[in-house]
Amino acid sequence: MNQKVIILPSIMCSTPQNMGAFVQAFEQNEIPAIHFDVMDGHYVANVMMGVRDYQFLKSITHIPIDLHLMCTEPEMFVEYMNPQPGDWVSFHPETARNPYRLLQAIRDRGCKAGIALSPGIPIAYIEEMAGVLDFVLVMSINPGFAGQKLVPDHPNKLKRIHEMIVRSGKSIQVFIDGNTTIQNARMMLANGADGLVVGTSSILKGGPEFFTEQYAAYIKEICEEKGE
């Protein structure tokens, strides 16, 4: 198994009935963080996962939570969610009043700070905020709903992001969110991704048992084309 590839399973793909079983499967496979989508019905046309869901997860696991704020005024949602030290927090910079300051505030909480880039959003945000960025979450689909197809220009954008980070000289990780099938994941890794958010298009579609059965095989298969 290649430990260099970071897998972040999306808890949005669970149900209230099997969330606990998924978390147990994540713990057994030593997942570094659980991806947690917060949608406000304004930035995206969906409403998903709130404070109680987050608090429940924190009560049953020590795995860090990777909060992805698909919200307008993410500053307000950081206060609502109250992420704890060790958690990861990303937001869409075009929705923030002061994205640089918000990244600083997230870091001050003891969390990893990141920005999420939707299709069509310029990658220049990375260059301007590289000094306070821990990671970038690149959306390979339009945010809001699972199960969509990749946007056509995703590989090129990912490659440009990787090159920009290399030029910056900063240690900034790149994660991809959206349609991370085996074939797509190989392409994403080849173009500079460090990790993948996985959901219904990959190894969460069959429930907690399926995830445990397929996790190691998924990593092996997506890394084969890289020669690892």
Q: Tell me the C-alpha to C-alpha distance, in Å, between residue 98 and each of 72, 74, 102, 195.
A: 12, 10, 6, 27
Nearest-angstrom CA–CA distance, 69 and 194: 20
Name residue 140's amino acid: S
pLDDT tens-digit profile, the chain (228 residues)? 344 899 999 999 888 888 999 999 999 999 999 999 999 999 988 898 899 999 999 999 999 999 999 999 999 999 999 999 999 999 999 999 999 999 999 999 999 999 999 999 999 999 999 999 999 999 988 875 665 677 778 889 999 999 999 999 999 999 999 889 899 999 999 999 999 999 876 788 778 888 888 898 899 999 874 444
Confirm if 212 and 22 have CB atoms less than 8 A apart. Answer: no
Looking at residue 75, its pLDDT comes to 97
Q: Is 177 a catalytic residue?
A: yes
Nearest-angstrom CA–CA distance, 213 and 206: 10
Q: Tell me the C-alpha to C-alpha distance, in Å, between residue 207 and each of 2, 34, 195.
A: 23, 15, 21
Query: Residue 207 carries which DSSP code?
Result: -
Burial of 32 (0-12, 13-18, 19+ CB in 10 A): middle
Which is catalytic among the residues 37, 40, 66, 134?
37
61 CB neighbour count, 10 Å cutoff: 16
Which is catalytic among the residues 87, 134, 177, 194?
177
pTM: 0.92
Looking at residue 133, its pLDDT comes to 98
Looking at residue 2, its pLDDT comes to 40
Domains of the chain by range and CATH?
Answer: 6-224 (3.20.20.70)
Q: Is 194 a catalytic residue?
A: no
Looking at residue 103, its pLDDT comes to 98
Looking at residue 1, its pLDDT comes to 34
Angle at 46 between CA 43 and CA 50, to 5 degrees: 90
